[in-house]
Amino acid sequence: MYRVIEAGQLADRIFQIWVEAPHVARHALAGQFLVIRIDEHGERIPLTVSAVSGDLVRIIFMAVGKTTHQLSTLKAGDFIRDVAGPLGRPSEIGMFGTCVVVGGGAGIASCPIIARAARAAGNHVIGIIGARNAGFLILEDEMREACDDLFVATDDGSRGFHGFAADVLKEVIEGRKVDCVWIIGPAIMMKVTSEVTRPKGIRTFVSLNPIMVDGTGMCGSCRVQVGGETKFACVDGPEFNAHEVDFDLLMQRQRTYFDEEKASLERYHERACRCGEGGHHG
Amino acid sequence: MSARAGAGKAVTMGERPARERVRDFSEVDCGLSAEEAVAEAERCLQCKKPSCIKGCPVEIDIPLFIARIAERDFLGAARIIKEANLLPAVCGRVCPQEVQCEGACILGGKERPVRIGDLERFVADREREQGLVIPPVAEPTGKRVAVVGSGPAGLTAAAELARAGHNVTVFESLHEPGGVLMYGIPSFRLPKDVVQAEIDQLRGMGVEILTNHLAGASIPVADLHAYDAVFIGTGAGLPFFMNIPGEQLNGVYSANEFLTRVNLMHADRFPEYDTPVRHAGRVVVVGGGNVAMDAARVARRLGARVTLVYRRREEDLPARRAEVIRAQQEGVEFELCANPVRILGSHFVTGVECVRMEMCSLDDSGRPEPSPLKGSNFTIDADMVIQAIGQGPNPLLIRKIEGITYGRKGNILVDEEGRSSLEKVFAAGDVATGAATVILAMGGAKKAARAIDRMLREDQRDH
């Protein structure tokens, strides 16, 4: 059992939890993830290690399915049944020169820890965070602190640049020499945004988020195609060379349980209504 | 149980009818009654030089425990087994006794061997019903041992080391201990409360089991080396895929994934449990081992029509004969001498294209080498494909241990007593041997635990 120390809402449908998990917090590095299971009936879901502080680890998630909705109802003092990690390979942080860390939506959660690590390694770090609108934007202050420069973009222009993070990235790499880029967000956003750096052949990492079960290389549920080879995102990744990833396949496999996920969420909301408790209806 | 034979007749396990059992996940075998067990025990010849013990990888004093059963001293029988093996309810169910103790039984030549496995299970179940007796442990030695993995090898090593008085910590990456006993073997062959009860004994012996701890990550390798000894029993958890076109389609599973979703995560009870598994009408399982049989039988229980595709002949199936028969009884269809060449579909699986296989000259394993027959391609409709073609050691931890030597297949190289190339680091089970059986892993782990114990005692004398 792992105690929730702090829990709260960061933006529209996006929540954060600080949970006490020393075995993860003490050893986690930028780019790694953990797997949680809320209770005895829960599924195992992977979430990025968004920050660590002593024995605490922060997770940030968007309430989309049953599990993340349930997770969003947890309060300080509640418990998460299982927290396993840190899992996956850490980000390859080197002294590259100038790095850009691009986050989209809930994917921004992964950015500050990478930006800090890249900066600590001596890089000049530029951050770009994008969201549908100002209401979905998270961690702006934290990113401003973690990066040398920060650009904000919203699809509707309600905050920062009016447009996509990809548009900002394009301008940045045209304006100066960029040596390494991380792009983290929904699969479609990573697909589109990584096309920006392809023509210049800039080293670009994406953090993939396929369906996982164990997260330790045991089941193969998270297999992805990278450079024409089958890789397990949980142990070979989650970060891969963006220009070699088959994003269409990733998105196809993410939809494997679309119907089941929908049914599970509906059932959860129905029960939450009947019991008159819990359940965010974002 | 009506299916049981009366006293005096040939004793058979109470096997539930296929039609009934295929609708649930309850155990297929109901086990022996006390009368049946005593009658079976009385068949034992109590050989002066028992060959059955030699057939047992963990060297249970088989004639002695059987004699106790004949005397109706069931708890005494349990005590004898547990001196050698702390997981008798597991072994009685999943060991391939026909090629081990029972295969060596002298009665096998004349009529049929004593049902040692059924007797072991009977005794273990009896003891559990009355409350398991925690085996005694020796005076604390003050030595600390890290055991990585809580499958058959890890549990066995932990038990032996705890018995010898060492302070044992087990690291398990999943949320439940038990390894393949929990995620791999379905409950109709091995009920999970049986596994839990036998694991609880270890806790009673003072073994600490840390779940959600991935060795090499949650506990760095340097911290492992700080223990007086390290035992690695991480198994063979890395699933192999066939590497044929269409493998990335939705609905293609490794047996590990499929079985984990159902056995460990209870996807059969979705949405009561949150983990889903695809609801398939027609399932193709590829492979012929015990894992393939398990996957096929689980898929049948989820209501699918199941075809098992295996590239060789029926007599070559590596699975236990009894499990093959049960799979057949439960309606699993066998497509033998066939091999998938491509999985069909767009986004989701719609079928499997197979090719007929011709049996040619014998290969190294003494089985005929199958080779594809040109132009014999045919298609099986399917909306799920489960690949059960084997698995290898998970390289996650091994890669991080500097200086440890491993083989071409990623298995840790060890001597007969489980010593690796690194002092104080031992390994046994599938991580050392490649995928094998529960009991072989336990046998190897027991040897390694004894070697660790000897090493730690010598250590103590030296200081």
- Which residues, 6+ apart, have CB-to-CB distance to A103 below 8 Å? A109, A110, A111, A127, A128, A129, A130, A139, A143, A165, A184, A185
Amino acid letter, B378: F
Asked whether B31 and B117 are in contact (CB, 8 A), the reply is no
* Cα angle B32, B36, B40; round to 5: 105
From chain B, pick out residues whose CB is under 8 angstroms from the CB of A23. Answer: 210, 212-213, 218-219
Residues of B in contact with A66 (CB under 8 A): 271, 274
Mark yes or no for CB contact B218/A44 under 8 Å: no
Question: Which overall architecture, per CATH, does domain B14-130 show?
Answer: Orthogonal Bundle (1.10)
Domain with CATH 1.10.1060.10 in chain B: 14-130
pLDDT average, residue stretch B81-100: 91
Element (H or E) spanning B149, and its range? none
d(CA B186, CA B215): 26
Contacts of A217 in chain B (CB under 8 A): 237-238, 394-396
Cα–Cα–Cα angle for A262, A268, A271, rounded to 5 degrees: 140
Taking CA atoms, what residue in A is nearest to B346?
Answer: A252
Nearest C-alpha in B relative to A67: B274
Task: Give the chain B residue whose CA is nearest to the CA of A252.
Answer: B347
- The reported pLDDT for the residue numbered A62 is 96
pLDDT of residue B10: 38
Inter-chain residue contact B274 with A220, CB threshold 8 Å? no
Count of all residues that appear for chain B in the document = 463
| A256 vs B: CB within 8 A | yes
Q: What is the mean pLDDT of residues B55-77?
A: 94
Interface test with B, best of A47, A219, A252 (most B CBs within 10 A): A219
Residue A156 above 60 pLDDT? yes
pLDDT digits (tens, 9 = 90+) for B269-312: 999 999 999 989 999 999 999 999 999 999 999 999 999 999 99
Mutation for testing the B interface, residue in A43, A69, A89, A218 having most B CBs under 10 Å? A218
Tell me how far apart the alpha carbons of residues B265 and B258 are, in angstroms, rounded to a whole number. Answer: 10
Residues of chain A numbered 188-217 and touching chain B (CB < 8 Å) = 213-214, 216-217
Would you say residue B13 has pLDDT above 80?
no
Q: What pLDDT is recorded for position B12?
A: 52
Whether the pLDDT of residue A131 is over 90: the answer is yes
Residue B11 has pLDDT above 70, yes or no: no
Pick the residue of B148, B150, B169, B175 with the most A CBs within 10 A to test the interface with A by mutation.
B175
pLDDT value at residue B8: 35
Is the pLDDT assigned to residue A280 strictly greater than 50?
no
Q: How far apart are CA B37 and CA B31, in angstroms?
A: 9
Give percent of chain A with pLDDT exceeding 90: 95
**Amino acid A37: pLDDT:** 98
State whether B218 and A41 contact (CB < 8 Å).
no
Looking at the partner chain, which of B210, B248, B275 has a beta carbon nearest the beta carbon of A225? B248
Q: Do B271 and A27 touch (CB under 8 A)?
A: no
The residues of chain B that CATH labels 3.50.50.60 are 144-237+393-462, 241-389
Right CATH number for B241-389 from 3.10.20.30, 3.40.50.300, 3.50.50.60, 2.30.30.110? 3.50.50.60
Mean pLDDT of B61-72: 96
Report residue A244 as tokens: 């070699």
Q: CA angle B249-B251-B254, nearest 5°?
A: 95
pLDDT at position B1 over 60: no
pLDDT given for residue B369 in this prediction: 85
Q: How confident is the model at residue B362 (pLDDT cuts 50, 70, 90)?
A: confident
Average pLDDT of chain B to the nearest whole number: 92
Nearest-angstrom CA–CA distance, A235 and A114: 19
Q: What are B456's two structure tokens?
A: 């730690």
pLDDT at B2 over 50: no
- CA–CA gap between residue B379 and residue B207 (Å, rounded): 52
Contacts of A84 in chain B (CB under 8 A): 173-175, 211-214, 218
Smallest CA–CA distance from A42 into chain B, residue? B274
> What is the pLDDT averaged over residues A98-113?
96
Written as six digits, the tokens of A92 are: 């390859």
**pLDDT at residue B370 tops 80:** yes
Tell me the per-residue pLDDT of A38-96, one tens digit each, with 9 for 90 and over. Answer: 999 999 999 999 999 999 999 999 999 999 999 999 999 999 999 999 999 999 999 99
CATH topology of domain B144-237+393-462: FAD/NAD(P)-binding domain (3.50.50)
Chain B residues within an 8 Å CB radius of A219: 239, 254, 256-257, 260
The bridge status of strand B252-254 relative to strand B384-387 is: parallel
Return the half-sphere exposure (C-beta side, CA atoms, 13 A cut-off) of residue B115. 18
Q: In 3D, which of B2, B56, B1 has the Cα closest to residue B443?
A: B56
Tokens 């998938």 appear where? Answer: B340
Cβ within 8 Å of residue B112, ≥6 positions away = B10
pLDDT at position B54: 92
More confident residue, B460 or B85: B85
Average pLDDT, stretch A227-241?
95
Given pLDDT bands bounded at 50, 70 and 90, which one contains residue B347?
Answer: very high
pLDDT band at A258 (very low <50, low <70, confident <90, very high): very high
- Does the structure show a pLDDT above 90 at A167? yes
Q: ω into residue A86 within 30 of 0, thus cis? A: yes
- What residue of A is the nearest CA neighbor of B219? A23
- Residue B340's Cβ-count burial label (10 Å; 0-12, 13-18, 19+) is buried
Reply yes or no on whether the pLDDT at A165 is more than 80.
Answer: yes
pLDDT of residue A170: 95
Classify burial at B458, counting beta carbons within 10 Å of its beta carbon; exposed 0-12, middle 13-18, buried 19 or more: exposed
Of A116-130, A176-190, B197-211, B430-444, minimum mean pLDDT range: B430-444
Which of B219, B247, B256 has its CB closest to that of A218?
B256
Q: How far does the CA of residue A248 sit from the closest CA of chain B (Å)?
A: 10
Q: How many contacts, defined by CB atoms under 8 Å, are there between A and B? A: 120
pLDDT tens digits for range B202-261: 999 999 999 999 999 999 999 999 999 999 999 988 899 999 999 999 999 999 999 999
Confidence at residue B395, expressed as pLDDT on a 0 to 100 scale: 85
Which chain B residues have any C-beta within 8 angstroms of a chain A C-beta? 173-175, 183, 210-214, 217-220, 237-239, 241, 243, 247-248, 250-251, 253-254, 256-257, 260-261, 265-266, 270-276, 278-279, 347, 394-396
Contact A25, A52 (CB under 8 A): yes
Question: Which chain A residues are within 8 Å of B175, Cβ to Cβ?
Answer: 37, 44, 81-82, 84
Task: Say yes or no to pLDDT of A25 above 80.
Answer: yes
Question: Considering CB atoms only, which of B173, B241, B274 is closest to A42?
Answer: B274
Q: Which residues pair with B351 in a beta bridge?
A: B344, B381
Residue of chain B minimizing CA distance to A24:
B218
pTM, 2 dp = 0.93
